[in-house]
Structure 1
Amino acid sequence: MIDIPGYRVLRPLGRGGMATVYLAVQESVDREVALKVMSPTLMADPTFGERFLREARIAAKLHHPNVVGIHDVGRSGDCFYIAMEYIPGGTILDDEGRAREVPFALRAVREIARALHYANSKGFVHRDVKPDNILIREDGSFALTDFGIARANDSATRMTRTGAVVGTPHYMSPEQARGRSLDGRSDLYSLGIVLYELLVGRVPFHAEDSLAVGIMHITEPVPQLPSEFKALQPVLDRLLAKEPDDRYQDGVAVATAIEGIERQIARGELRDLVRPRSASPRGGTERASPSARMGAEPRRRAEPSLGRMDDIVAAAERPLRATDARRPPDRDRVRRPGGSRAAWIFTGAFAFLVVMGGFVLWRNQDKLRALLPRTELNDLLARGDAASKAGRLVGTAGDSARELFEAARAIDPDNEIARSGLRRVGEALIVQAEQAREKNDYATAHSRLADARAVLGGGPAVDQAEQALKKAESEETQVIELFDRAEKALAAGLILGTDGAVMLYERMLQADAQNAPALAGLRKAGAALAAQARELLSQGRLDEAATRIDDIARALPNDPSVPNLRADLQNARAAAGAALDAQVKRAQDLLRAGKVSGSGDDNALAQFQAVLARDPNNSKARTGLGQVAQALMVQANAALESSNANLAERLIRQAEGIAPNLAELSAARSRLRDLREEVEIAASRPVLTPDQVQKVATLLASAEKAAAAGNLMVPPGTSAYDKYRAALAIDGNNAQAMTGLQSLPQRARDEFNVAVGEQKLDRAKDMIETLAQLSPGDAGLPFLRSRLAEAWLDEADRRVGENRAQDARRAIDAARGLSPSNPRLTVLEQKLRALGSSTTTAAGDGSGS
């Protein structure tokens, strides 16, 4: 068992490629901790220990509910260790690797997303988010562990091998698989893989080796969840987008998206997601037949029904037949059928004549009454009719139609002529009320309706007329209030907006399109807006002036000032555009002259910003600012190359302020951080002993000798690369070693040229491979491969001419490996086949002779 002072190690908890974790007791405070001891193999890089301690100490400053706390960081002999919060709940994966329930998976990912956001805001990228690094606390919350360790290992590794990749292959992002610089969005991709595994019970990409898994992360499409999880697919699509810009941009966005799904689940909207895994989803229960439903559930309510028509007829006929069956026969009818029939006919005819005569008298009672001698009743009816026709409907002098008809009804309450006359009086009063309402004479309208109600005793017509009158009065009151508000707003200079004069006048016109005060008010508002537009034009505020002109055109489409104002605006824009173009050209000239930024306005940055202050949408100025940011990044990288960290930081911040999404920023910030670390580490290194100085000098001499002999990367251990690196391991700031390392790519190019010139094509191929290892992104590699392919094809052509088919085949295959689309390959393949055919024919002729 390992021995670290201050800790009593109890038992191992787990082992990985980088470390072994023990359960231990921190004796000074008597608490259980998880003691992570780093693997001794990591000490192969002499800078790892210092980087590890620095990264772990910074990570110890992370304090978040979902981040495992770090209690202590240190070194004991050759052992580097971290004492962390001990969480006995284990990792989020089931012991048997089975899928988790959806609420569990969503809560875990939501909490870890917030932890990653917090860490990223502090400048940390985890680099190794996976289930093994997510632990469950006793209260059911989740905690992320191993911050800082992955970066410490990454920093050490990429010092020794370009393009090295750190992380667990099944969970790494595409950019991590490519060995590119990382930011917090890479951790979110890994978190998406964790979400998939929690839901499905396995990782989405699996292959025989780590390299194949990394390629799948880069090339395979986003995995699709099973159909029951389709509601979660949009979240997974964004987490596992191949390009970081297409993913969620921070952990808060991930947590917010998941919280939305959790709220839907709580409302019962996503029931498929929360079904127990053991119960297969069902589409619903079988429907019972209508008869079965009726038998199972009594009818609570039913509409009355008539039944079938033939049943009704039968029911109506049955009593009649029963009565007929019980009635005794009429003996007289039996004895004297003829006499009985004649009596019945006579009686019926007489009754009919009596009824018809009464009906005719009733229908013509008024006409018959008029034939009678004139009485007081007839006089009242005649005078009432005359008053009605003369328009004297109501009054108090005794000669109005209402008074006369009512007097007639006092004599004969059932007199139809009086009733009809009063009805006509009431209807005429309603008409007069409506006419008064249309003239806005609301007092007369109210009076007429009161009389109509008294005459008619109310009724729907009176009610409708009163409702129309009330509505008209309300609308007039609103119009008056709107006019007062509009006039006050215009006087206060409040012309536009919800409570502006223009809007208030327009609301008046909605009620009355010909409202004269409203139309006059709009004209006054238009004149005030025109004055504002002219003032804005004189100040050069052209966009605001255009808005004012549009306001005038909308409020007063026929205002004569609008065409002139538009012409003035067009001229002002032309003049302003010419001035802006001149300023943009000056900014571009300053940029080409290298005057990128600085104090005052004699630099490209100041000029482009001045243009955008006047025209925020100026595309040339926006493009120019992007070019300024690129130029600042070039200067920042140059400062980094010269180890001027302060200047590099200032330039990076300036570029970030101009173009926050610039692609080069992330890599530059990472380089700046590494530079500052290297400076601090170098400053803390002890002074070299004489023996170390001598050893460095010997290593440098061996490196120069190996480089001169062309042994740049091989043989291992004695190559120039390994010797320079060994010297830097002792003296990390040795300028000669750094220069020597930087010169190796050019030496590889020189060796390539010599080898091609001497027809040492295998040697030339070795130099291409060396250059690819030293400088993977070298822009000249494609050209060198193409050139070597041509040399191999020339070799193949010569060998075909010499009838050396085997050597020709080897040369063609070498060329194809370098440039598979070279058109000469087809031609030489044909020559080679022809050579083989002729050789076979010649051999056949020789045997025949």
Structure 2
Amino acid sequence: MTSSPIGSVLAGRYRVDSLIGNGGMADVYRGLDATLDRPVAVKILTDRSGDIRQRFLREARSMARLNHPNIVSVYDAGESDGLSYIIMELAEGRTLRDLIDEGTSVEHTISLFIELCEALEYAHGQGVIHRDIKPSNVMVLPSGVLKVMDFGLARRTTDVSMSSQAGEIVGTISYLPPERFLGRAGDVAGDLYSLGVVLYELLTGRLPFESADEDLVAIIFAHINQPPRPPRAHTPSIPEALDALVLRLLAKDPAQRPQSAAQTAAELRAVLPGERHAQESPTPPQQPTAQRQHPESEDGGARVRSMLEATLRPARSLNQALGDVMAGMLATRNRRYAEAEEAYNAAMATLEQMGGQQTEWAKTALKLALMVLQKATEGQTSREEVFRCAQLLERAILIFHGRRMRTELADAERVIQAFRRIPERFG
């Protein structure tokens, strides 16, 4: 879309008034339905490439079949003057992102998430998976009613085709379940994991998996391999039963999560003080079981790399490099150093060819250097390998310095000094 649609009238009925927000493939405007004289939200497609238009229409079909008080309604969809649009209920209020920033009580959080679970249970019952549950997609109206928005990534459970192209990861990295990074489609268990991430964040004010320098690969690695700290470690006032439920929602193995949004809602009701919802019998909490470690984290083998590349890689793109870096991290963890070196070098080559990715290149060079240092401490490296890695790291240091990336700069300088202290390597 080359010009603003503000002021235009779509299909002779829907006036476009002002921009509310924008996203990857569509912008959302406040508008007016002139026929019914009611305010509406107008979502207009901005990217018509590839299968985007089909995905956009699929979103309209997915949302139109959902009629629930906690889900934003779709009124109409179509094309006008070359623009593809969806007309939706106008939901105004505060998002869960606002509540995270402001803080709210445990009781209020539980009540909101019961409504969120009820909305998801209804959608799942209609065969629709949201796949993009995150704070900005959940609105709380001034009346206190919760509304789930943006089923832009929703897909029918009977739709066997992936809605992303060339292995594109859609959604927000911090809220995606680990199985999505391993090439598996979104499902009910995936929505519940994302709900668990948002619940963790609202209860504690932080994400379960974070990176100080916003290293996406490190966040992906944590989702797949690292257990989260219990919410009570950050906020001791959280009830133990709620703490246990959040950890089960964040289980790496989908089978260890609650089996439905309805079960999750029942367990949330059981936690509310005074058992306000005692008329509904809660499902007995499942006993936590030991987390099953993904086989990918045990062997870091070629299967991991192929799965990650298939999931994260459009050809010659940043996602390809992220897949290689992820494979390198897994291989390093399991001391498969030749495999790790190959993966890191492939990532750096891709980033070099792309251009404009100096920061990611430098961060990858630092990961390679840390792997070589680990090898050196085990006596498995050579002078030539250390020397070559030190040269790469010197270049990375210049990039870190130029971008004022103090943490990475300090780490890189420490690795250089460690290289120089290795006997018979640098004098």
Shared fold by TM > 0.5?
A: yes
CA distance in 2, matches of 1:222, 1:96: 19
Change (3 A) 1:264 1:155: same
1:223 aligns with 2:254: no
CA distance in 1, matches of 2:142, 2:43: 21
Q: Secondary structure at the match of 2:94?
A: coil
Change (3 A) 1:252 1:99: same
1:190 aligns with 2:215: no
1:255 aligns with 2:261: no
Contact 2:189 2:260 in 1 (8 A): yes
CA distance in 1, matches of 2:131, 2:275: 32
Contact 1:94 1:100 in 2 (8 A): no
- Structure 1 residue 251: deviation in Å? 0.4
**What is the 5 A alignment of 1:26-175?**
26-40=33-47, 43-45=48-50, 47-94=51-98, 97-151=101-155, 158-159=164-165, 161-162=166-167, 164-175=168-179
Q: Of the candidates 209, 212, 230, which is equivalent to residue 215 of structure 2?
A: 209
Change (3 A) 1:100 1:166: same
CA distance in 1, matches of 2:206, 2:383: 51
Partner of 1:473: none
Change (3 A) 1:829 1:104: closer
Contact 1:10 1:25 in 2 (8 A): yes
CA distance in 2, matches of 1:831, 1:203: 41
Contact 1:51 1:156 in 2 (8 A): no
Q: Of the candidates 235, 238, 259, which is equivalent to residue 245 of structure 2?
A: 235
CA distance in 1, matches of 2:100, 2:122: 32
The Cα offsets for residues 245-293 of structure 1, whole Å up to 9 and x where unpaired, read as 00001001000001111154659xxxxxxxxxxxxxxxxxxxxxxxxxx
Change (3 A) 1:97 1:831: closer
CA distance in 1, matches of 2:25, 2:236: 38
1:246 aligns with 2:256: yes
CA distance in 2, matches of 1:77, 1:220: 50
The Cα offsets for residues 17-36 of structure 1, whole Å up to 9 and x where unpaired, read as 33321110012222111112
User: Gaps spanning 5+ residues in structure 1: where?
Assistant: 268-712, 717-768, 777-784, 790-813, 833-849
Q: Secondary structure at the match of 1:143?
A: strand
CA RMSD of aligned residues (A): 3.7
CA distance in 2, matches of 1:29, 1:830: 77
Partner of 1:11: 18
Count of equivalent residues: 286
**Amino acid in the other structure paired with 2:49:** A
- Structure 1 residue 70: deviation in Å? 0.7
- Structure 1 residue 67: deviation in Å? 1.1
Partner of 1:759: none
CA distance in 1, matches of 2:84, 2:185: 26
Partner of 1:462: none
Partner of 1:317: none
Change (3 A) 1:829 1:58: closer
Change (3 A) 1:77 1:175: farther
Contact 1:112 1:144 in 2 (8 A): yes
Contact 1:100 1:201 in 2 (8 A): no
Larger relative contact order, structure 1 or 2 (CA cutoff 8 Å, min sep 6): 2
The Cα offsets for residues 122-153 of structure 1, whole Å up to 9 and x where unpaired, read as 2111010011111123432211111254549x
The Cα offsets for residues 563-607 of structure 1, whole Å up to 9 and x where unpaired, read as xxxxxxxxxxxxxxxxxxxxxxxxxxxxxxxxxxxxxxxxxxxxx
Contact 1:196 1:202 in 2 (8 A): yes
Q: Taking structure 2 as the reference length, what is the TM-score of the superposition?
A: 0.59
Contact 1:92 1:134 in 2 (8 A): yes
CA distance in 2, matches of 1:137, 1:64: 15
Contact 2:162 2:185 in 1 (8 A): no
- Structure 1 residue 75: deviation in Å? 2.5
Change (3 A) 1:31 1:75: same
**What is the 5 A alignment of 1:760-839?**
none
- Structure 1 residue 104: deviation in Å? 1.3
**Amino acid in the other structure paired with 1:26:** D
Contact 1:20 1:39 in 2 (8 A): yes
- Structure 1 residue 98: deviation in Å? 2.3
Q: Secondary structure at the match of 2:97?
A: coil
**Amino acid in the other structure paired with 1:15:** N
Q: Secondary structure at the match of 2:107?
A: helix
The Cα offsets for residues 653-709 of structure 1, whole Å up to 9 and x where unpaired, read as xxxxxxxxxxxxxxxxxxxxxxxxxxxxxxxxxxxxxxxxxxxxxxxxxxxxxxxxx
Q: Secondary structure at the match of 1:198?
A: helix
**What is the 5 A alignment of 1:297-316?**
none
**Amino acid in the other structure paired with 2:223:** H
- Structure 1 residue 227: deviation in Å? 1.1
Change (3 A) 1:37 1:76: same
- Structure 1 residue 76: deviation in Å? 3.0
Change (3 A) 1:77 1:50: farther
CA distance in 2, matches of 1:260, 1:151: 31
Change (3 A) 1:96 1:147: closer
Contact 1:56 1:149 in 2 (8 A): no
Q: Secondary structure at the match of 1:44?
A: coil
Q: Which has the higher helix share?
A: 1
Change (3 A) 1:831 1:90: closer
Contact 1:66 1:142 in 2 (8 A): yes
- Structure 1 residue 205: deviation in Å? 2.2
Q: Percent identity over the alignment?
A: 35
**Amino acid in the other structure paired with 1:124:** V
Q: Secondary structure at the match of 1:147?
A: coil
CA distance in 2, matches of 1:266, 1:59: 31
Report which of the two structures shows the higher radius of gyration computed on alpha carbons. 1
**Amino acid in the other structure paired with 2:134:** K
Contact 2:128 2:154 in 1 (8 A): no
**Amino acid in the other structure paired with 2:237:** E
**Amino acid in the other structure paired with 1:44:** S
Contact 2:59 2:154 in 1 (8 A): no
**Amino acid in the other structure paired with 1:235:** L
CA distance in 2, matches of 1:830, 1:176: 40
